[in-house]
Amino acid sequence: MVSNRSLKNRIAVIYPFLILLLSSCVSSHIHHYHFNQKTAAPKLKEDIVLLKKILEANHPSLYWYTPKDSIDYYFNNAITSINDSLTETAFRNKVAYVISKIHCGHTAVRLSVDYNKMLEKNRYPMFPLSIKTWGDTMVVIGSNKPKDSIFKRGTIITSINGRTNKQLLDSMFQLIGTDGYSNVYKSQMISGNFPMMYKLVWSLDSNYTITYLDALGKELTANITNYSPSTTKVKSTRKVTDSLKTVVKTLPKVKKPTRKQRKENKLLNLRSLSIDSTESTAYMRLSSFSEGHLRTFFRRSFKKLEETNTKNLIIDLRENTGGYVSASNLFTKYIINKPFKNADTVAAIRHSIKHPYYVRESLKYWFCAHFVSRKMADGRYHDRRAETHYFNPKTKHHFDGKVFILQGGYTYSASTMFTSTVKGQSNVTIVGEESGGGNYGNTAMYMPTIILPNSKLRVIMPTFRMVMDAKRKKDGRGVLPDVYVPASSEAIRKGIDYKLEAVKKLIR
């Protein structure tokens, strides 16, 4: 027979799970949804008021870089500026503008699930040029217009439809969050999909007047229209069909890649290692710390480096936006020459999510927070193991040669943890640009998703503030390279990787 006290204890344990399980049920879909549909102004205002309430209750770094009165101002300004119904993208821009003022790269706004499902059918038309940006510079990477004789790779753009580069980029920067104040990550994000960002911020025009510099540096003007894939169908005659059949018969049959080959190609896109024995140099590319069977890859790679007596290791993290801290720690062990820990502070405001009805994965957070953290004197819940546990360097297959790390704006989160930890070590040189991730710290760890009930916009909300090293200056900057190699129009035009070339020069 179960005693009353035992029964009460069991209920006390199960009750929070039941409450969170039942409460986290806000739908992420809109019935009879129309792509980029409008929502009435009062409903949108309700969403912003609710978002502010949820962030105030749960976000541990809401006022880390921006004081409360300023955050209140941005939210209130967003609310009062809504005087009519808005499309989903227009409302998303208003929310993204406010979120960017938090200066937290892991707090991000996503369009609704319904929008993303219908995006492929509504992707076009698009701005026709792919553009690489840094600072106030804009350089053409490619054109979607066939036989474009003007906007070739490497062409420098100076304005679009009367807007200067600074006006264009500043407006886009306002909608992208990042750790602290560095714009390197923002530039990288825009470079990754300039047509989408242009469409999101400025909407589409039917025609674009673009000023650019020619080969002699003279400013010229040209017009270009939007890009849409051709939908014109070519009427095939029997003669053409017969000719094509003849051609096809003479072509060698190409075998489809096997399942194993497809898997190997996918892994190569995530991580790879190549060794040049003549230069005694290895090149390792890591685009993620969350996929790619990394534990096995690290063990085999560093064993190979030891067997080949490789003296130099180039680690390319320019596409690595982060991933699992455990994978970053494991990788660090192969490079670092002294014990290290993750951070001086890893702390959350509370054990459980407040307003869980609107937050997906509230139950998962409750479980994780109770498992890894406990309340300390400052009233916050600290992950004490992350704050106190030291990891030792690997003794087996540890790499003791020269290490050259390539980094850029996409070097973020867990990859920044690695670079900031090994920076300053005598055999380590960081080459490239400032990292996108913060050098002092960030807010991340467990990141549930807020679903705003009326617009169905999704807001990613990190829950633990991490100060990696309290001795570092809290200046809102990323990890600075030891050897600075900026982007350049010449490098784009010639198709030369100047950052990698700089490393090779250092080795030689």
> Across the 508 residues of the chain, what is the mean pLDDT of every consecutive 10-residue run?
46 49 70 93 98 98 97 98 96 97 96 94 93 95 90 96 96 95 93 94 92 93 91 47 54 72 80 94 96 94 97 97 95 98 95 92 85 93 95 97 97 96 97 96 94 97 96 95 94 94 95
Task: Kindly state the tokens that stand for 381.
Answer: 């819940």
DSSP state of 37: -
Q: In what order do the strands lie in the sheet with 483-484?
A: 271-276, 281-286, 312-316, 402-407, 428-432, 483-484
- Count of alpha carbons within 13 Å of 103, Cβ hemisphere only? 19
What's the pLDDT score for residue 89? 96
**pLDDT at site 4:** 47
Look at residue 16 in the predicted model and tell me its pLDDT.
Answer: 54
Residue 15 has a pLDDT of 46
In this predicted structure, what is the pLDDT of residue 271? 93
- The Cα–Cα gap between 391 and 389 comes to 7
Task: Count H helices and E strands in the chain, helices first.
Answer: 17, 23
Alpha-carbon distance 8 to 3, whole Å? 9
* CB of 353 closer than 8 Å to CB of 359: yes
Q: How far is CA 118 from CA 121, 122, 420, in A?
A: 6, 7, 40
CA distance 117 to 122: 10
Query: What pLDDT is stored for residue 243 in this prediction?
Result: 52
Q: Judge whether 101 and 167 are in contact, CB under 8 Å.
A: no
DSSP assignments along 227-251, one per residue: B----PPPPPPHHHHHHHHHHHHHS
Bridge-based pairing of strands 163-164 and 441-444 is unpaired
What was the pLDDT predicted at 362? 85
Residue type, 325: V
The pLDDT score that the predictor gives to residue 249 is: 57
